[in-house]
């Protein structure tokens, strides 16, 4: 990897529960493995005993979820952007805790740091305050010191930590100045949430003291003073039924539209 900096994204999705035998590793894949530093122990289910295998089927849950980590290299000023790639993927059960997530992130950070790759932070997929997502939200708060703390782990005091200088005009933005890592929701989900709020007929979107609504976009599209070449918008871009239209998010935040 020709990079010194990177960002890791993590997301989880449902998976078909199935047990398979892996000839290469002589192990059974699909059971929810115990965790070490927040990560399932590889090749844990190895046996030549039919009795042991039957016991696993009777007592061990099949992993209902697939957890995936992607690594996005951050290029320097003189290099082109690199594509993200799969860092790891494994089956899990919904029995892990926020502390397991913290240990997993620290383990990934330290393993990359040993290879002279500095992880800047972690992003997570959809955060809807469900049971699974509450664990991730708490893990983010614990590691960033956002009204929570890890009394036995002073991560912000480690030599690898950096310091954040916030603009003086941001008194409303709370973040501890010393951080080991940054945390955020997946930008794609953030952008689509912003768009859905903007296009909602019942919710309001405020920017500072000003109210923003779909009517502003409708006026631009209908105006004879501007053409599609000026703003790049079409009516489907403000169709609220298409809630995952990320291309529309790119258009709504384009410089051409913002300059109108």
Distance in angstroms (rounded) separating the CA atoms of residues 252 and 231: 9
Residues 162 and 201 in one domain: no
Which of these three, 165, 185, 205, is where a domain ends? 185
Which of these three, 138, 156, 185, is where a domain ends? 185
Residues 105 and 153 in one domain: yes
Residues 162 and 234 in one domain: no
Choose between 114 and 239: higher pLDDT.
114
Which of these three, 163, 185, 207, is where a domain ends? 185
DSSP string of 18-66, one letter each residue: --EEETTTTEEESB-PPEETTEEPTT----S-HHHHHHHHHHSPB--EE
Structure tokens at 73: 């290299």
Residues 52 and 163 in one domain: yes
- Residue 241 lies in domain: 188-258
Residues 138 and 204 in one domain: no
Q: Is 248 exposed, middle or buried (0-12, 13-18, 19+ CB in 10 A)?
A: buried
Give the whole-number percent of the chain exceeding pLDDT 90: 34
Residues 53 and 109 in one domain: yes
Contact (Cβ atoms closer than 8 angstroms) between residue 251 and residue 232:
yes
Q: Across the chain, what does the average pLDDT equal? A: 86
Residues 202 and 165 in one domain: no
Residues 90 and 154 in one domain: yes
CA-to-CA dists, residue 176 to 127, 147, 161, 200, angstroms: 22, 10, 12, 34
Residues 207 and 112 in one domain: no
| Residue 126: predicted pLDDT | 59
Residues 175 and 225 in one domain: no
| Residue 128: predicted pLDDT | 46
Residues 104 and 178 in one domain: yes
**Each residue's pLDDT tens digit, 32-86:** 889 998 888 989 999 999 999 999 999 998 988 888 999 999 877 666 677 889 9
Structure tokens at 134: 């509450």
| Residue 14: predicted pLDDT | 84
For residue 160, the surrounding DSSP H or E stretch is none
| Residue 28: predicted pLDDT | 94
Residues 61 and 36 in one domain: yes
pTM: 0.77
Which are the contacts of 192, defined by CB distance < 8 A and separation ≥ 6? 243, 244, 245, 246, 249
Question: Which residues are bridge partners to 62 per DSSP?
Answer: 31
As for how many domains the chain has, the answer is: 2
Distance in angstroms (rounded) separating the CA atoms of residues 79 and 82: 9
């Amino acid at each position: 990897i020709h990079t010194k900096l990177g960002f890791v994204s993590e997301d989880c999705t449902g998976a078909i529960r199935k047990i398979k035998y892996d000839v290469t590793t002589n192990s059974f894949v699909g059971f929810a493995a115990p965790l070490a530093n927040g990560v399932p122990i590889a090749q844990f289910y190895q046996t030549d005993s039919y009795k042991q295998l039957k016991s696993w089927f009777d007592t061990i849950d099949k992993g209902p979820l697939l957890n995936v980590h992607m690594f996005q290299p951050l290029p320097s000023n003189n290099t082109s952007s690199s594509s993200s790639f799969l860092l790891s993927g494994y089956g899990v059960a919904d029995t892990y805790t926020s502390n397991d997530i913290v240990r997993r992130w620290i383990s990934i950070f330290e393993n990359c740091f040993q290879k002279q790759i500095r992880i800047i932070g972690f992003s997570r997929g959809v955060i809807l305050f469900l049971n699974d997502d509450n664990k991730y939200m708490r893990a983010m708060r614990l590691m960033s010191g956002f009204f929570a703390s890890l009394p036995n782990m002073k991560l912000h005091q480690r030599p690898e930590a950096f310091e954040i200088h916030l603009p003086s005009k941001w008194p409303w933005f709370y973040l501890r100045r010393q951080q080991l890592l940054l945390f955020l929701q997946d930008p794609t989900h953030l952008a689509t949430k912003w768009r859905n709020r903007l296009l909602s007929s019942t919710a309001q979107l405020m920017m500072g003291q000003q109210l923003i609504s779909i009517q502003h976009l409708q006026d631009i599209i209908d105006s004879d003073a501007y053409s599609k070449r000026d703003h790049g918008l079409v009516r489907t871009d403000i169709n609220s039924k298409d809630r995952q239209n990320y291309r529309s998010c790119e258009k709504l935040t384009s410089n051409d539209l913002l300059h109108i």
